[in-house]
């Protein structure tokens, strides 16, 4: 009987060794690979106002940026991280969707980013104007499109209601993951500061 058990044990050990040899390296790479996450929540170390940036102007007007946070929760560095704006829904039907765009990293004139494990960086999603009420989505802060104005194809009237933004985040050798950001605005009678407070209630879900 002992010889039978020894044979079974030997066969089992051989089988496990083959499984580890075949799938172990792939499993280990997956375990150690970057894991990107997009969130609308402000990380504690960046402060509660890091997701909504308000630059005041005279007479209570101003510019307001809504930012999302990209984090790497994996065990290795994520290279060429990109966040794409795929589509937009506004309270009134759009004549055309904005072109697919790579969102800009907050305060950095770059479209791609390298994120070390545990690192968090903001990306700019939309900009609101209250002087000439309107919105620019998927803008690049350091390109001419950021100066969109009424009549520009990237400029939309600022309306009350729900907004929805479909997004994708990916990196080199990391599959894309889709998210949907939503926010509700009550524009009529709201000051720029009140609109900024409304944007702080934006939410994000994976799709």
Q: Cα(5)–Cα(14) distance, rounded to whole angstroms?
A: 14
The whole-chain average pLDDT of the chain stands at 79
CATH number at residue 171: 2.60.40.10
Distance CA 40, CA 55 (A): 20
* Residues 23, 95 within the same domain: no
58 & 160 share domain = yes
User: Per residue in 156-165, pLDDT tens?
Assistant: 788 899 999 9
Q: What is the pLDDT of residue 68?
A: 94
Same domain, 190 and 102: yes
- Shared domain for 22 and 56, answered yes or no, is no
129 burial type by CB count under 10 A (0-12 exposed, 13-18 middle, 19+ buried): buried
Do residues 61 and 81 share a domain? yes
Q: Are residues 162 and 190 in the same domain?
A: yes
Q: What is the pTM of this model?
A: 0.78
Answer for the pair 192, 60: CB distance below 8 angstroms, yes or no: yes
Q: Are residues 11 and 65 in the same domain?
A: no
Q: Do 167 and 143 belong together in one domain?
A: yes
Q: Whole domain around residue 131: which residue ranges?
A: 35-206
* Shared domain check, 104 and 24: no
Q: Do residue 7 and residue 65 come from a single domain? A: no
pLDDT in tens, 91-101: 988 777 777 78
Task: Assess whether 89 and 115 both reside in one domain.
Answer: yes
| Angle, vertex CA 37, rays to CA 36 and CA 41, nearest 5 | 150
Strand pairing partners for 184?
Answer: 162
Tell me: do 92 and 17 sit in the same domain: no
Total domains in the chain come to: 2
């Amino acid at each position: 009987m002992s010889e039978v058990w020894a044979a079974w044990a030997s066969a089992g050990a051989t089988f496990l060794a083959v499984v580890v040899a075949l799938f172990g390296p792939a499993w280990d790479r997956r375990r150690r690979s970057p894991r990107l996450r997009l969130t609308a929540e402000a990380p504690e170390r960046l402060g509660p106002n890091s997701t909504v940036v308000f630059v005041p102007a005279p007479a209570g007007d101003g510019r307001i940026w809504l930012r999302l946070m990209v984090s790497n929760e994996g065990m290795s560095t994520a290279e060429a991280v990109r966040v794409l704006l795929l589509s937009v829904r506004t309270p009134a039907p759009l004549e055309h969707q904005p072109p697919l765009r790579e969102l800009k990293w907050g305060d950095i004139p770059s479209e791609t980013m390298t994120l070390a494990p545990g690192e968090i960086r903001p990306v700019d999603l939309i900009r609101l104007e209250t002087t000439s009420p309107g919105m620019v989505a998927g803008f690049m802060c350091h390109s001419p499109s950021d100066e969109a104005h009424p009549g520009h194809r990237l400029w939309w009237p600022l309306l009350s209601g729900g907004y929805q933004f479909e997004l994708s985040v990916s990196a080199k050798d990391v599959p894309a993951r889709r998210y949907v950001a939503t926010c509700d605005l009550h524009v009529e009678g709201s000051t720029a500061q009140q609109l900024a407070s409304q944007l702080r209630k934006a939410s994000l879900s994976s799709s």
